[in-house]
C-alpha cells in the first residue's frame, strides 16, 4: 500500500482506488471492475464528490420501498462488497433482507472470495454461493441470468448497487421494483430502474443504514406516501442539474 497524504485533494478517491487495486490483486475483482470504478470516479468528480439532495430523496424512497416489501433482497457485486461490505451487512440485518452474490464475471474462486469477504463483515447467510440452487431471470443468458429461489427470484423489491443495464432491464421486466445506486445518471441501469440513487456506494450505503434506523419507526402509510410521491425521471433530472451547476461553479 502506498502512503497517500491526507492533504492530497483527491485523498478519499485515492484511498478507494488502492482498496480496489488490492482487491484485484487478491482475485476478488476482475480487471473490468477497475474500469467500471474509473467510470464512476469520473462521474463522482463532476457531482462534486458529495451526496446531492436528489440522491438523499432517492435514498429515503429506496429504504421506504424496502421496508414495505414482502420479500426484499440485496444483490451485491464485487465492487460494492469490496467498498462497503460492513454497511451492506448492517443494512441486511436492519431491513431485514438477504444478501445475494451477483457477479458479472462469475468464477467459483471469485464467488468463494466474495462469500468470505461478506462473512468476515458479519454476514450470517449469503445466497448465490457456488452450488446454490438458481432459477434463470427471463431475458438473460448464462451466469448473468442466475437468481436464487429465496433471493432475487421471489423478491418484489431488489436493491442492486452497480447493476448492468441488461440485468436491470430484465429485473424490471419481470415485475420487480429495482433500486439501484449508480453515479452515472445516464446509464441504462439508472434510466431503467424504478428508484435510482445517483451517488457513490461508499456514501449512499452508510446513509441508507442511517435512514433505515429512522424510517423503521414510521407507520406504513407514511412510507407509502414517500414512495408514491417519488418520480424517478424528475429525480434523475435533478442529478443532471447538479452536474451542470457544478460546471457553472454555482455550487
- Binding residues (CB under 6 A) for ligand ATP: these are 36-37, 39-40, 43, 79, 83, 162, 164-165, 181-184, 187-189, 200-201
Under the criterion CB under 5 A, does residue 182 sit at the interface with Mg ion?
A: no
**Burial bucket for residue 47 (CB in 10 Å: 0-12, 13-18, 19+):** buried
40 binds, among Mg ion, ligand ATP, none (CB under 5 to 8 A by kind): ligand ATP
User: Judging by DSSP bridges, how do beta strands 72-76 and 157-161 pair with one another?
Assistant: parallel
Which positions ≥6 away from 38 have C-beta within 8 Å? Answer: none
Under the criterion CB under 5 A, does residue 90 sit at the interface with Mg ion?
A: no
Which of 44, 223 has the CB closer to ligand ATP? 44
Shortest CA distance to 70 belongs to which of 177, 215, 160, 147?
177
Sequential DSSP letters for 108-171:
HHHHHHHHHHHHHTT-S-EES-TT---EEPTT--GGGGEE-TTTTTT-SEEEEET--HHHHHHH
123, three cell numbers = 454476514
Which of 30, 223 has the CB closer to ligand ATP? 30
Which of 43, 230 has the CB closer to ligand ATP? 43
Q: Which residues pair with residue 178 across a beta bridge?
A: 158
162 binds, among Mg ion, ligand ATP, none (CB under 5 to 8 A by kind): ligand ATP
Which of 37, 134 has the CB closer to ligand ATP? 37
Taking the complex as a whole, how short is the minimal distance between the CB of residue 240 and Mg ion, in angstroms?
Answer: 19
39 binds, among ligand ATP, Mg ion, none (CB under 5 to 8 A by kind): ligand ATP
Taking the complex as a whole, how short is the minimal distance between the CB of residue 225 and ligand ATP, in angstroms?
Answer: 28
88 binds, among Mg ion, ligand ATP, none (CB under 5 to 8 A by kind): none
Residue 27 is given by DSSP the state: T
Which positions ≥6 away from 140 have C-beta within 8 Å? Answer: 166, 167, 170
Which positions ≥6 away from 30 have C-beta within 8 Å? Answer: 24, 78, 104, 105, 110
Taking the complex as a whole, how short is the minimal distance between the CB of residue 82 and ligand ATP, in angstroms?
Answer: 10
Which of 38, 122 has the CB closer to ligand ATP? 38
Q: Which helix (H) or strand (E) holds 60?
A: helix 53-68
Q: Which of 44, 57, 100, 164 binds Mg ion (CB under 5 A)?
A: 164
Which of 37, 110 has the CB closer to ligand ATP? 37
Taking the complex as a whole, how short is the minimal distance between the CB of residue 224 and ligand ATP, in angstroms?
Answer: 28
Residues that bind Mg ion (CB under 5 A): 164-165
Amino acid at each position: 500500500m502506498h502512503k497517500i497524504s491526507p492533504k492530497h485533494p483527491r485523498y478519499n478517491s485515492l484511498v478507494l482506488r488502492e482498496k480496489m487495486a488490492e482487491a484485484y490483486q487478491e482475485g476478488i475483482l476482475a480487471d473490468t471492475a477497475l474500469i467500471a470504478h474509473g467510470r464512476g470516479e469520473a462521474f463522482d468528480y463532476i457531482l462534486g464528490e458529495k451526496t446531492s439532495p436528489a440522491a438523499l430523496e432517492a435514498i429515503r424512497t429506496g429504504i421506504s420501498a424496502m421496508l414495505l416489501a414482502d420479500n426484499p433482497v440485496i444483490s451485491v457485486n464485487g465492487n460494492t462488497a469490496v467498498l462497503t461490505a460492513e454497511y451492506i451487512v448492517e443494512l441486511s440485518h436492519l431491513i431485514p433482507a438477504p444478501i445475494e452474490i451477483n457477479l458479472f464475471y462469475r468464477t467459483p474462486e471469485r464467488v468463494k472470495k466474495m462469500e468470505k469477504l461478506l462473512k468476515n463483515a458479519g454476514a450470517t447467510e449469503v445466497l448465490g454461493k457456488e452450488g446454490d440452487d438458481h432459477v434463470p431471470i427471463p431475458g438473460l443468458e448464462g451466469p448473468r441470468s442466475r437468481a436464487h429461489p429465496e433471493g432475487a427470484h421471489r423478491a418484489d423489491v431488489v436493491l442492486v448497487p452497480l447493476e448492468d443495464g441488461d440485468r436491470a432491464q430484465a429485473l424490471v421486466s419481470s415485475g420487480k421494483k429495482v433500486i439501484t445506486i449508480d453515479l452515472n445518471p445516464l446509464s441504462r441501469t439508472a434510466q431503467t430502474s424504478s428508484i435510482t440513487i445517483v451517488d457513490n456506494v461508499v456514501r449512499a450505503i452508510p446513509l441508507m443504514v442511517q435512514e433505515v434506523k429512522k424510517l423503521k419507526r414510521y407507520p406504513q402509510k407514511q412510507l407509502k406516501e414517500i414512495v408514491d410521491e417519488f418520480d424517478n425521471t424528475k429525480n434523475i433530472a435533478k442529478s443532471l442539474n447538479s452536474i451542470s451547476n457544478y460546471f457553472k461553479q454555482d455550487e
